[in-house]
Amino acid sequence: MIWFLIFMGVAQATPISSFADLQKFIQKGEYKTIESFLEALPAESKKHFTFVYQSRSLHGSSALNPRALVYLNRGKLVFSFNGSPEQKNFDKLEVMEFDQKESRFRFHEIVFPEGRLGAKHEFNLNDSKCLHCHRQDPRPIWDSYDLWPGVYGSTDGKMQKGTWELKKYQEFLNKNAKTGRYGNLHWDFSKSPVYPFVVSRKLNYKFNSSPNEELGLFISLNNADRIIRLIRQSPNYEKYKFWLFSFRGCFKFRPTEELLSGIRSASARGFKVRLARHFDQYNTTNRKGFERFYPEEIAKAEVISQAFGISLEEWASGLEANSYSFESAAGSSVESYVLPKLFEAVVDDTPELQALKKQKLSPAKFCESINKRREEELKANPLATDDWKSYYAQKGLSVEATRPIDRCVSCHTGDHHAGPTIPFDSDSQLRVALQKGGYPRGTLYQEMKYRLKSKGADRMPLNEILSAAEISKIETYLANLAERPY
Ligand code: HEC
Ligand code: HEC
């Protein structure tokens, strides 16, 4: 009987649900290639995925060899790979895990031998180079419903009929998806001929089978827990607990018109940038852009963020600073995911509040007590009444760096940089490097000039939208190095 069970255990590989499971699985199986690892993986652990054909990550990607994002355990584990040995970082499996106990995302890189003789797996745990884009207290990067430029199913998470994207995806399904790494994913064509997507004849916003949206939903649920941890860690947490709790219904929050219009314009700016990434390259559905948008909810998040000294960008999930990519319906996640859990956390942390709840007061009396404590808190520690108008006037316009070129340093120089090495930290070395040729637009200098102005996924810097004034300062700086005699 025991032998029988052991045999069963081997035959039906244990499902994988955490990074620890994944690491053990790879170490035990000693899979030398990502392809053989995928082959061995239980079907259950490789049936939810989406594909990025124009990725802004460290993985090279293309329409026929897209970057695959596979998610399991409700997005608590996401791993990623691409498809051709010619692509950047073909030998690397990138992994994101959500550590539920600590409400923290972690980013790891696993290097596979991929044919290098004698090579072993390298596990780069909590790899610091990931933080250049995923931020210091790392979080996922995923555009929000309902536009994912560069991802298959970019529009509403579905394959829109008659588009370039659908044609390319079918080509991918007929070729590369059948073999190698992609072939080892678990495809279920009984669900849809363009699994895991569906073909949409016209834009309809009915929820059905969209991996992009599902991944976004999981990401925002997990990120909600992370935001709550950030608030609990804030030195101001003790000062404003009743104030915070009063949002549950004891106090009617009325955002000022200045705050709302600031949010509307910052969001419109962010959406424009996102659309530009979408349409300047490929002619998909000719859509003007749609985004469900809840400025009142974002306003709540903004006010709470200010009180606890947290950036609103922690709630968002875009790559660009100020992208206003709020996962899942642009802000509805605030009301549905973050606040209810946040109120529970405040109760857990506050004996005085628990005692008050036990008294079973009428709602009016209960709120009277909450609001009294709220007033006391605000009297002891007045909240900065912000001038939202000038606050938002500055937001979205990048804060000027002392040396604009410093914006390029962190990702291109040093020990753990994310991009190709370019000596932005040394004028004399940069002067020489700028003359080098062989880049898609000629010399490195020409490539740089192009990248600064590009609206596509290759715009530099990757993570910020610079003002026209600042771009021109960088251009002048580069021109001085590149065009002046040595
Ligand atoms: C140069 C910027 C950049 C760096 C550095 C980077 N990523 Fe990402 N990452 C992205 C972007 C952009 C996405 C969104 C999907 C895409 O474009 O491929 C992403 C998405 C992901 C995802 C899918 C889950 C999510 O966040 O949507 C995983 C997993 C991931 N990255 C892992 C890593 C790991 C591990 C590292 C470090 C080894 C890393 N990334 C470094 C830009 C980056
Ligand atoms: C958040 C990280 C990040 C920042 C900040 C950043 N870059 Fe990059 N850069 C990358 C990555 C990753 C790549 C490789 C992917 C690509 O080619 O698009 C790259 C590629 C490039 C390339 C192409 C180099 C090559 O070998 O093909 C140029 C040129 C460049 N960056 C210029 C800049 C300039 C100029 C700035 C500052 C204005 C800047 N970058 C800021 C991450 C960054």
- Mode of pairing for the β-strands spanning 122-124 and 159-160: unpaired
On whether residue 272 sits in a domain, the answer given is yes
Atom 20 (ligand 1) nearest CA: 141
Atom of ligand 1 lying closest to residue 61 CA: 18
Q: Are residues 41 and 107 in the same domain?
A: yes
For ligand 1, the distance from its centroid to the CA atom of residue 160, given in whole angstroms, is 26
Of the residues 367, 393, 419, the one at which a domain ends: 393
Test site for ligand 2: of 134, 412, 439, most ligand atoms within 8 A of the Cβ: 412
Strands (E), 147-204: 159-160, 199-200
**Ligand 1 pocket check for 333: Cβ under 6 Å:** no
Atom 26 (ligand 2) nearest CA: 420
Residue 288 domain boundaries? 211-393
On whether residue 145 sits in a domain, the answer given is no
- Yes or no: say if 322 and 396 are a contact pair by the CB < 8 Å rule: yes
**Ligand 2 pocket check for 132: Cβ under 6 Å:** yes
**Ligand 1 pocket check for 141: Cβ under 6 Å:** yes
Q: Are residues 360 and 470 in the same domain?
A: no
**Phi, psi (5° rounding) for residue 92?**
-110, 130
Atom 19 (ligand 2) nearest CA: 419
On whether residue 425 sits in a domain, the answer given is yes
**Ligand 1 pocket check for 56: Cβ under 6 Å:** yes
For ligand 1, the distance from its centroid to the CA atom of residue 470, given in whole angstroms, is 27
Question: Which candidate, 216, 388, 389, places its Cα nearest to that of 302?
Answer: 388
Q: Are residues 354 and 455 in the same domain?
A: no
- What is the chain's alpha carbon radius of gyration, rounded to the nearest angstrom? 25
**Ligand 1 pocket check for 108: Cβ under 6 Å:** yes
Of the residues 368, 393, 418, the one at which a domain ends: 393
Q: SS3 for 66? A: coil
| Percent composition of the chain: helix, strand, coil (DSSP 3-state, to 5) | 45, 10, 45
Atom 2 (ligand 2) nearest CA: 411
Query: Which bound ligand lies closest to the C-alpha atom of 71?
Result: 1
Q: What is this structure's pTM?
A: 0.84
Tell me how far apart the alpha carbons of residues 107 and 116 are, in angstroms, rounded to a whole number: 24
**Ligand 1 pocket check for 22: Cβ under 6 Å:** no
Whose tokens are 């009617």? That residue is: 252
Query: Which bound ligand lies closest to the C-alpha atom of 51?
Result: 1
Atom of ligand 1 lying closest to residue 55 CA: 17
- Mode of pairing for the β-strands spanning 67-72 and 122-124: unpaired
**pLDDT for residue 362:** 95
Tell me how far apart the alpha carbons of residues 175 and 183 are, in angstroms, rounded to a whole number: 10
Tell me how far apart the alpha carbons of residues 21 and 41 are, in angstroms, rounded to a whole number: 11
Atom of ligand 1 lying closest to residue 95 CA: 29
Handedness of CA 345, 349, 350, 351 (dihedral sign): positive
Query: Which bound ligand lies closest to the C-alpha atom of 89?
Result: 1
Query: Which bound ligand lies closest to the C-alpha atom of 462?
Result: 2
- Strand order in 122-124's β-sheet? 49-52, 67-72, 77-81, 92-99, 104-111, 122-124
**Ligand 1 pocket check for 98: Cβ under 6 Å:** no
Atom of ligand 1 lying closest to residue 108 CA: 35
On whether residue 455 sits in a domain, the answer given is yes
For ligand 2, the distance from its centroid to the CA atom of residue 412, given in whole angstroms, is 7
Size (the chain), residues:
486
- Yes or no: say if 177 and 183 are a contact pair by the CB < 8 Å rule: yes
Atom of ligand 2 lying closest to residue 133 CA: 1
Query: Which bound ligand lies closest to the C-alpha atom of 451?
Result: 2
Tell me how far apart the alpha carbons of residues 214 and 366 are, in angstroms, rounded to a whole number: 38
Atom of ligand 2 lying closest to residue 478 CA: 35
Helix H segments across 280-412? 295-308, 327-330, 332-333, 339-349, 351-358, 363-380, 388-394, 409-412
Q: Are residues 164 and 239 in the same domain?
A: no
CA dihedral 205, 208, 212, 218 (to 10 degrees): 110
Q: Are residues 371 and 227 in the same domain?
A: yes
**pLDDT for residue 3:** 45
Q: Are residues 378 and 426 in the same domain?
A: no
Query: Which bound ligand lies closest to the C-alpha atom of 481?
Result: 2
Atom 16 (ligand 2) nearest CA: 458
On whether residue 247 sits in a domain, the answer given is yes
On whether residue 203 sits in a domain, the answer given is no
Q: Are residues 409 and 386 in the same domain?
A: no
On whether residue 130 sits in a domain, the answer given is yes
Q: Are residues 261 and 370 in the same domain?
A: yes
CA dihedral 118, 124, 125, 127 (to 10 degrees): 180
> Considering its fold, how many domains does the chain have in total?
3
Tell me how far apart the alpha carbons of residues 33 and 35 are, in angstroms, rounded to a whole number: 5
Give the count of alpha carbons within 13 A of 222, CB side only. 29
On whether residue 387 sits in a domain, the answer given is yes
**pLDDT for residue 156:** 80
Q: Are residues 286 and 355 in the same domain?
A: yes
At position 413, the amino acid (one-letter code) is T
- Yes or no: say if 30 and 113 are a contact pair by the CB < 8 Å rule: no
**Phi, psi (5° rounding) for residue 78?**
-135, 130
For ligand 1, the distance from its centroid to the CA atom of residue 351, given in whole angstroms, is 41
pLDDT along the chain (486 residues), means of 10: 45 78 96 98 95 93 96 96 96 98 98 94 96 94 87 87 89 97 96 89 57 91 94 97 95 90 82 72 47 78 92 87 62 80 96 95 96 96 80 59 74 80 87 93 96 90 84 90 71
Tell me how far apart the alpha carbons of residues 53 and 42 are, in angstroms, rounded to a whole number: 26
Test site for ligand 1: of 58, 408, 460, most ligand atoms within 8 A of the Cβ: 58
**Ligand 1 pocket check for 80: Cβ under 6 Å:** yes
**Phi, psi (5° rounding) for residue 353?**
-70, -40
- Yes or no: say if 346 and 373 are a contact pair by the CB < 8 Å rule: no
Token pair, residue 181, equals: 């790494």
Q: Are residues 76 and 166 in the same domain?
A: yes
Atom 16 (ligand 1) nearest CA: 55
Of the residues 341, 366, 393, the one at which a domain ends: 393
Write down the number of H helices and E strands in the chain. 20, 8
Q: Are residues 362 and 459 in the same domain?
A: no
- Yes or no: say if 415 and 423 are a contact pair by the CB < 8 Å rule: no
